[in-house]
Chains A and B, each alone.
Chain A
Amino acid sequence: MTRLLRIGFMPLTDAGLLLVASAKNFDRDEGLRFELSPEPSWANLRDKLALGIYDAAHMLAPAVVASTLGLNGFPAPMIGAVALGLDGNAISVSPALAVALREKISGEAADPACTARALAELSAERAFDGLPPLRFAHVFPYSSHHYQLRLWLRSGAIRPDAVQLTVTPPPLMQQAIEGGYIDGFCVGGPWNTLAQQAGASEILHPCRVLTPDCPEKVLAFRSEAAEREPELPRDAARAIRRAALWGEKKENREEFCRTIAEKTGAGASPAMVAASLDQNWLRLDAEATALAGSQASWLYVLMVAAGQAFADDGQAALAQTAFWPLDGAPPPPSAPGFKIAAFDPRHWREALAALAG
Chain B
Amino acid sequence: MPDEKNLLIVIVDQNPLRTAILRDGLREAGHEQVMIVDAFLDLERRLREINPDIVLIDLENPNRDVLEQMIRVSGVHARAVAMFADSSDAAMINAAIDAGVSAYVVDGLKKERVKAIVDLCISRFNAFARLREELAAVQGQLADRKAIDQAKGLLMKAKNISEEQAYAMMRKVAMNEGKKIADIARSLITAAEFFK
Q: Is the CB of A141 within 8 A of B73?
A: yes
Given A44-B59, A176-B41; A167-B84 close (CB under 8 Å): no
Chain A hits for B102, CB < 8 A? 43, 47
A65 and B7 CA atoms in complex are apart in Å by 35
Is B42's CB within 8 Å of the partner chain A?
A: yes
Which partner residue on chain B sits nearest A307 by CB separation?
Answer: B73
Q: Which of A78-103 contact B (CB under 8 A)?
A: none
Q: Which of B47-63 contact A (CB under 8 A)?
A: 59-63
Q: In whole Å, how far is A222's beta carbon from the nearest beta carbon of chain B?
A: 13
Is A175's CB within 8 Å of the partner chain B?
A: yes
Q: Is the CB of B62 within 8 A of A40?
A: yes
Chain A hits for B94, CB < 8 A? 51
Of B66, B72, B86, B97, the contact of A168 (CB 8 Å cutoff): B66
Chain B hits for A167, CB < 8 A? 44, 65-66, 68-70
Q: In whole Å, how far is A314's beta carbon from the nearest beta carbon of chain B?
A: 22
Interface string of A216-244 (1 = CB under 8 A from B): 00000000000000000000000000000
Of A73, A175, A179, the contact of B68 (CB 8 Å cutoff): A73
A42 and B82 CA atoms in complex are apart in Å by 14
Is A181's CB within 8 Å of the partner chain B?
A: yes
Chain A hits for B62, CB < 8 A? 40-41, 169-172
Interface string of B62-90 (1 = CB under 8 A from A): 11111111111100000001101110001
Is B93's CB within 8 Å of the partner chain A?
A: yes
Chain B hits for A204, CB < 8 A? none
Q: Is the CB of A172 within 8 A of B97?
A: no
Is A354's CB within 8 Å of the partner chain B?
A: no
Chain B hits for A51, CB < 8 A? 90, 93-94, 97
Which size bracket describes the interface of A in this complex? Answer: 20 to 34
Is A4's CB within 8 Å of the partner chain B?
A: no
Of A43, A75, A181, the contact of B41 (CB 8 Å cutoff): A181
Given A53-B97, A73-B85; A179-B42 close (CB under 8 Å): yes
Q: Is the CB of B40 within 8 A of A172?
A: yes
Chain A hits for B69, CB < 8 A? 140-141, 166-167
Chain B hits for A73, CB < 8 A? 68, 71-72, 82, 85
A139 and B62 CA atoms in complex are apart in Å by 10
Q: In whole Å, how far is A42's beta carbon from the nearest beta carbon of chain B?
A: 5
Is A324's CB within 8 Å of the partner chain B?
A: no
Chain B hits for A43, CB < 8 A? 64-65, 67-68, 82, 84, 102
A48 and B64 CA atoms in complex are apart in Å by 14
Which partner residue on chain A sits nearest B40 by CB separation?
Answer: A172
Residues of A within 8 A of B (CB): 40-44, 47-48, 51, 53, 72-75, 139-141, 166-172, 175-176, 179, 181, 308
3 nearest interchain CB pairs?
A169-B62, A167-B69, A43-B64
* Beyond A47-B102, A141-B68, A141-B72, 13 additional pairs, beta carbon < 8 A: A44-B59, A47-B93, A48-B97, A72-B72, A72-B85, A73-B68, A73-B85, A75-B84, A166-B44, A167-B44, A172-B40, A181-B45, A308-B72
Can you give 15 A-B contacts (C-beta < 8 A)? A43-B64, A43-B68, A73-B68, A75-B86, A139-B65, A141-B68, A141-B73, A166-B44, A167-B44, A167-B68, A169-B63, A172-B40, A175-B40, A176-B41, A308-B73
